[in-house]
Homo-oligomer: A and B are copies of this chain.
Amino acid sequence: MTRYGKRGDMVVHEEEPFNAETGLAALAEAPVTATDAFYVRGHGAVPQIDPVAWRLHVHGAVERELDLSLETLREALPEREVTATLQCAGNRRAGLIAIRDIPGEAPWGPGATGTATWTGVALADVLALAGPHGGHVGFEGADLSPEAKPAQQFGGSIPLEKACRPEVLLAWAMNGEPLPVVHGAPLRVVVPGYIGARSVKWLERIEVRSEPWHGYFQHVVYRLLPEDGTAGPGAGMPLGLIALNSDVLSPADGETIAAGSVQVRGYAFAGGERHVTRVDVSLDAGTHWSQALLLEDLGPWAWRHWQITVELSPGDHEILVRAWDSSAATQPEDEAALWNPEGYVNNARPRIRVRAAPA
């Protein structure tokens, strides 16, 4: 098994702004996702930034405002690395749309997530220079999004307690190479264990605040709305922590494969504070379960790939999966009971159907 996957085809949901998920074959290749196949979720045009002129402005409830160049960040603070899974809140939305349509939202499959090794400085070290006094740390990118009316720069916040943890980075490199522009160069936030929307790209501004981010992308969208249609600023609950989830990467749903021994592979992620303890696979709709093998452990902030070899006789089969976390919690079964108006956090047990052809 190679640690870094090869480039795979991406499933493009939107060309401008570019939104694409990683093809399952590329995700299955290796537990660390190839940089050029890593999913891209954007809300506006990719901004053009001169990295020499660029400064990170740190302000708000701080003792000292800061304006930091890339050079200062690199030279004044220790370099840190974390291998972390990022996951879009809309990952696996297609499973919810299959139950009831969600107009205006892209039908992301299970590839709106990926794992990379990120290099940069600890956000905690930057905050320590500023002396934070608030309870929340907000991030604003340079990307202007027309989804908000009037247009807004993308942004969001995390609690100060999380912001001060060592795994939260301001990153300039991804998988050992300079961060690609589409992934947020010159500098992006990486918040392991939180929805991807908090890992703000093209970071320009850090604002220490008494309250959570009030901008469109946290106060209006990226929220779990009740099903009764209540929407608007502050409705429902803000998303943040990532819930236990898993999916099958190979074989593909609907694929025809040769009968006999079939290797099934997928991912499972428990959010970081909790870890994946077990992945079970059933071929009989959940009556009997077999344990899959958990593959390479990339640390607490990364998913686990898993695999199992099953024997499939000629005919149609359903492969059902459930992951368990270190609280002995497992995934909900019923996607219908997870449906929500913006189609977030589908973490139902994955099931795929395959046809085994006689050898």
Identify the A interface with B (CB < 8 A).
Answer: 224, 226-227, 237, 239-244, 271, 273-274, 277-278, 286, 288-289, 291, 322, 324-334, 336-338, 344-345, 347, 349
Contact = CB atoms under 8 A, between A and B. Distances in A.
Nearest to A274: B241
Contact of A327 (B241, B291, B336, B338): B241
Copies of this chain present in the complex amount to 2
Contacts of A333: 332-334, 337
The list of the 6 closest CB pairs from A to B, nearest first, reads A243-B329, A241-B327, A243-B327, A328-B345, A332-B332, A237-B277
A240 B325 CA distance: 11
B338 A243 contact: no
Contact of A326 (B240, B330, B337): B240
Contacts of A326: 237, 240-241
A337 to B, nearest CB: 5
Contact of A337 (B224, B239, B330): B330
A21 B277 CA distance: 30
A286 B334 contact: yes
A327 B278 contact: no
Contacts of A345: 328-329
B336 A286 contact: yes
A244 B329 contact: yes
**Which of A237, A241, A327, A332 gathers the greatest number of chain B CB atoms within 10 Å?**
A327
Contacts of A327: 240-244, 271
A40 to B, nearest CB: 23
Nearest to A286: B337
Contacts of A271: 327
A347 B240 CA distance: 22
Contacts of A288: 227
B278 A237 contact: yes
Contacts of A241: 274, 326-328
B328 A329 contact: no
A240 to B, nearest CB: 6
24 contacts: A224-B324, A224-B328, A226-B289, A226-B291, A227-B288, A237-B277, A237-B324, A239-B328, A241-B274, A243-B327, A243-B328, A244-B329, A273-B273, A329-B332, A329-B345, A329-B347, A330-B332, A330-B337, A330-B338, A331-B332, A333-B333, A333-B334, A334-B334, A337-B349
A99 to B, nearest CB: 12
